[in-house]
Amino acid sequence: MSADVFLALVVFAFVTSITPGPNNFMLMASGVNFGFWRTVPHMLGIGVGFFSLLLGVGFGLGAALTAYPALHVALKVAGGAYLLYLAWRIAMSRSIGDGKDADARPMSFLEAAAFQWVNPKAWVMAVTAMSIYTNPSAPFVSVSLVAIAFALVNVPSVSTWAGFGVALRGFLADPVRLKWFNIAMGALLALTLWPMLK
């Protein structure tokens, strides 16, 4: 892969990682409700989960989904159901996580990593990146470079969204504002399903 192609790949990875989607809406809500440091395992889980998804797609999982359409449909249904569950949890949250509510907690590292495998935007990003930027004559190297490019931009991208949430904490300390913010974030998260339903 030439330096120009790798640079184009890094730009693609950054643009697709920083734009709104399920992960970023959840990170902003987590930043508001739990603060930056309690959101770090969620951020790291996204990075590791997406890295593993990229490798899976690059080394043949995308072809398996094409060969078995029922598996693809099952993945869509499972992902959509889980996304709606997460949207409901966010929308119903009513207090900034200060340790008083034992049930309120940010997404864990493993939950965030597993979510990448049912996240519609993550699948679109992975399949698109692997189809455009890999070289069939050097599959291992090109798939690895795509995964590395996304790893380079992932932490700054997801940290930005968690940081947006943290910046809003003071404004959203008012329970009414927080309630409507969480409802809006839940609704936006649910709306990210729209492209998957087309």
pLDDT of residue 160: 93
Q: Work out how many domains the chain is built from and give that number.
A: 1
Half-sphere exposure of residue 176, counting CA atoms within 13 Å on the CB side? Answer: 0
Please state whether 124 falls in left (phi above 0), alpha (psi between -120 and 50) or beta.
alpha
Contact between 11 and 139 (Cβ < 8 Å): no
Query: Which residues have a Cβ under 8 Å from the Cβ of 15 and sit 6 or more positions away?
Result: none
**pLDDT at res. 131:** 84
93 inside domain: yes
Question: Looking at residue 22, what is its pLDDT?
Answer: 86
Give me the pLDDT at residue 53, please. Answer: 93
The pTM assigned to this predicted structure is 0.80
Distance CA 168, CA 34 (A): 12
User: Is there a domain that residue 30 lies in?
Assistant: no
In contact, 107 and 162? CB cutoff 8 Å: no
Q: Is residue 17 one of the residues assigned to a domain?
A: no
Does residue 71 lie within any of the structural domains?
Answer: yes
What stretch of H or E contains 189? Answer: helix 175-191
pLDDT on residue 151? 92
pLDDT of residue 98: 52
Residue 159 lies in a domain: yes
Instruction: Specify the pLDDT at position 118.
Output: 83
Residue 21 lies in a domain: no
Q: What is the pLDDT along the chain (198 residues), one digit of tens a residue?
A: 678 888 888 988 898 898 888 898 889 989 988 999 999 999 999 999 999 999 998 888 767 767 777 876 777 777 778 778 877 877 887 666 654 555 678 889 999 999 998 887 888 888 888 888 888 787 888 889 999 999 999 989 999 999 998 998 888 778 888 788 878 878 877 777 776 655
In this structure, is residue 26 part of a structural domain? Answer: no
State the pLDDT at residue 197: 59
Which residue range forms the structural domain that includes residue 114? 3-9+39-197
Check residue 114 and give its pLDDT.
92
Contact 58, 145 (CB under 8 A): no
